[in-house]
Amino acid sequence: MAAEHADFTSPVDLVAEPGTGPVRERRPVYVDLLPPCNQACPSGENIQAWLAHARAGRHRDAWHALVRDNPLPAVHGRVCYHPCETGCNRREVDGAVSIHAVERFLGDLAASAGWPLPGAASPSGKRVLVVGAGPSGLSAAYHLACLGHDVEIRDAGRLPGGMMHFGIPAYRLPREDLHKEIRRIEAMGVRIVSEHRVEDLLAEREAGRFDAVFLAIGAGVGKHIDIPARDAARVLDAVSLLHDVTAGEPPVLGRRVVVYGGGNTAMDAARTAKRLGAEETLIVYRRDRAHMPARAFEADEAVEEGIRIRWLTTIKEAVGSELTVEMMELDADGRPRPTGRFETLQADAIVLAVGQEPDSGFLRNVPGIAFGADGSVRVGPDMMTGCAGIFAGGDMIAEERTVTVSVGHGKKAARHIDTWLRGRSEPASAKHPVVSFGMLHLPIYSDAERREQAVRPPAARAADFAEVVSGLRERDAIYEAQRCYSCGNCFECDQCYAACPEQAIDKLGTGLRYRFRYERCTGCAVCFEACPCHAIEMIPEAPRHG
């Protein structure tokens, strides 16, 4: 556990007390603090732990440490927006560690080597129904199986994966890489029943003798908006477009396609339309780039592929192939407002990418379940709905809608379901303090620029659905892992051991770290200052009693 924080601004000297000799005011202690990458990860991965294995070339150990929290590393290494890298302290020096690329390397290596997921615990005798085979449902099923429960997933889709399969384009997530990881979960004993739409949840729960239910239906229904239209060009929603393309039934869009929206789905829809043969693909969005919900790199990649974006523009009317659009401006709070200036655009198809919502109507007859205005389901801190034994997570509970958040929900829900099934209560555990860049004591060293994954040229990649980004080679993955500062956690660099002037530190052997010999320690704080990762803190010495 982390020690109580103290003032670290200066070393501690011994002070003299009359008749007692020197008295140590503070002493060093070894601590484990929270690295910012771990804190930022929505799926709760112990990133620093698996990077430590990877940096030493222990790839299987790294993968095992990774899948303790996330059973889909090859997927995450491709589609996660890696907030861990936004939090990485190395950004202050020469660029964040490429955590997602190392994760992908480990996931792909495990798939090619056929490494099985860890075995399940002893059978609990409890059965859990998971509704939905998307990222949240798969994660919950995996963690529940690890805890010894009998799990069955029922999913309306033809193939499992949810929006990972039917919503993320293949150029970002090749389907075979997804299904290799799903098959590994099935190999643990999780049963997946596809093309099974749950319509009466209570009846299915009773018929299957399930002790608990986890709802993970996602938000797979595209929102619609009213656009005055007379004999308009074809209008469809982005979710349906992406689904139909994956299902092998791509719609005919024509030569000119306008995508309405500014989120990641809009970018995917526009890039997909380009790959389907559209000669002109235009994104129309009512706010500016600084206020778009899409990730910046998604917009950059779309523009590289020839997609044009009209910022501060909204569609007012569609007549035949003509669109009337109005120019917008932002007020002081960043909200768009009309200007009264109009233009006419040409379009053979309009794709609406204005948001998604869950298809939760089948739950209206379940007593106790409450809903948001968009059909989202409300849950408590334990992920349980208002109906005892029915839990929910992922996109359907109206939080940030990403694969990584959904996987984190699945893990969290599995643990709460396990606690509920076993009739236990678990108090929330306090987290260690986060280690900021300013807390590190980095030595003078040469910069180590990060290794980037290879990307196909824009002209070539826009012509098909082949994967855009290639993974790292083994040597580059190890190099990236070695760039980790191990913030807040000892990695046995020997700096404290070598710096101590009193030889008050014992080295205990590889993996065992060190210990202080306080009978020799003077509290000089040299070890604290020498520790690059802040795995040592100085704490006040207990007062002496004469």
Of 87-91, 303-307, 354-358, 453-457, where does mean pLDDT reach its minimum? 354-358
Residue 116 is assigned to a structural domain of this protein: no
Looking at the structure, do residues 270 and 307 belong to the same domain, yes or no? Answer: yes
% of the chain surpassing 70 pLDDT: 94
What pLDDT shows up at residue 229?
A: 72
Residue 185 and residue 117 in contact, taking contact as beta carbons nearer than 8 Å = yes
* Predicted confidence (pLDDT) per residue in 121-137, tens digit: 899 999 999 999 999 99
For residue 22, the model assigns a pLDDT of 60
Structural domain including 275 reads 226-237+250-352
Please, where are the H alpha helices in 160-263? 163-166, 175-187, 201-207, 238-246
Residues 319 and 280 reside in one and the same domain? yes
Share of the chain above pLDDT 90, in %: 83
- Provide the pLDDT for residue 230: 66
What value does the mean pLDDT take over residues 492-516? 94
Confidence at residue 4, expressed as pLDDT on a 0 to 100 scale: 35
Structure tokens at 10: 């200066």
DSSP-derived secondary structure letter, 209: T
CA distance 356 to 240: 11
Of 480, 497, 500, 492, the C-alpha closest to 533 is 492
CB 192 within 8 A of CB 153: yes
Q: Which of 147-161, 353-367, 386-400, 419-433 is predicted least confidently?
A: 419-433
pLDDT digits (tens, 9 = 90+) for 387-402: 999 999 999 997 788 9
Q: Band the pLDDT of 148: cuts 50, 70, 90.
A: very high
Output the CA–CA distances (angstroms, integers) from residue 192 to 28, 186, 293, 355, 459, in the order listed: 53, 7, 34, 28, 39
Based on the fold, state whether residues 262 and 372 are members of the same structural domain.
no
pLDDT grade for 11, boundaries at 50, 70 and 90: very low
Does 163 map to a domain? yes
Residue 75 domain flag? no
Q: pLDDT at position 473, please?
A: 96
C-alpha triplet 383, 389, 395: angle, nearest 5°: 35
Among residues 162, 36, 103, 71, the alpha carbon closest in space to that of 410 is found at 71
Backbone angles phi, psi at 493, to 5 degrees: -85, -10
Q: Longest Cα pair distance anywhere in the chain, in angstroms?
A: 99
Question: Two tokens at 137?
Answer: 């449902």
| Surface-to-core class of residue 454, CB atoms within 10 Å of its CB (0-12 exposed, 13-18 middle, 19+ buried) | exposed
Nearest to 82 by CA among 136, 134, 41, 39: 41
Per-residue pLDDT, averaged over 50-76, amounts to 97
209 shares a domain with 187: yes
Instruction: Assess whether pLDDT exceeds 60 at residue 409.
Output: yes
In angstroms, the CA 286 to CA 328 distance is 6
Report the half-sphere exposure of 45 (CA within 13 A, side-chain side).
34
The overall average pLDDT reported for the chain is 91
In-domain check, residue 337: yes
Q: Which helix (H) or strand (E) holds 462?
A: none
Residue 80 within a domain = no
Q: Assign residue 515 the CATH number of its domain.
A: 3.30.70.20
In a domain, 39, yes or no: no
Query: 373 — alpha (psi -120 to 50), left (phi > 0) or beta?
Result: alpha
Residues 278 and 202 occupy one common structural domain = no
For the stretch 261-312, pLDDT in tens is: 999 999 999 999 999 999 999 999 999 999 999 999 999 999 999 999 999 9
Q: Which residue, of 406, 421, 436, is where some domain finishes? A: 421
Domain annotation covers residue 70:
no
Higher pLDDT, 446 or 529: 529
Residues 141 and 182 both lie in one domain: yes
Cα–Cα distance for residue pair 171/242, rounded to 1 Å? 12
Query: Residue 298: what are its φ and ψ, rounded to 5°?
Result: -65, -45
Q: Are residues 321 and 364 in the same domain?
A: no
What token pair was written down for 545? 């009693």
Question: What's the pLDDT score for residue 234?
Answer: 87
Per-residue pLDDT, 334:
86
Q: What is the pLDDT of residue 128?
A: 98
Helix 175-187 and helix 99-113, axial crossing angle in degrees, nearest 10: 60
- Is 216 among the domain residues? yes
pLDDT in tens, 213-256: 999 999 988 888 877 776 667 889 999 999 999 999 999 999 99
Summarised one tens digit per residue, pLDDT across range 19-53 is 344 678 899 999 999 999 999 999 999 999 999 99
The reply to whether 211 and 233 lie within a common domain is no
pLDDT, position 307: 96
Q: Domains in the chain: how many in total? A: 3
Mean pLDDT along residues 2-16: 36
- How far is 326 from 328, CA to CA, in rounded Å? 6
CA distance 256 to 294: 22
Instruction: Categorize the per-residue pLDDT at 455 as very low, low, confident or very high, splitting at 50, 70 and 90.
Output: very high
Asked which of 292, 327, 352 is the last residue of a domain, the reply is 352
Q: Are residues 142 and 198 in the same domain?
A: yes
Residues 396, 503 within the same domain? no
State how far the Cα of 299 lies from the Cα of 265, in Å rounded to an integer. 11
* 3-class DSSP assignment, residue 299: helix
Our measurement of the distance from residue 196's CA atom to the centroid of its chain's CA atoms, rounded to an integer in Å, reads: 28
300 with 393, same domain: the answer is no
Q: Which of 375, 393, 421 is the last residue in one of the domains?
A: 421
pLDDT attached to residue 395: 94
Between the CA atoms of 100, 101, 103 and 107, what dihedral angle is there, to the nearest 10 degrees?
Answer: 130
Q: In whole angstroms, how far apart are CA 360 and each of 34, 242, 414? A: 38, 21, 21
For residue 236 the two structure tokens come to 């469809």
Residue 346 sits in a domain whose CATH number is 3.50.50.60
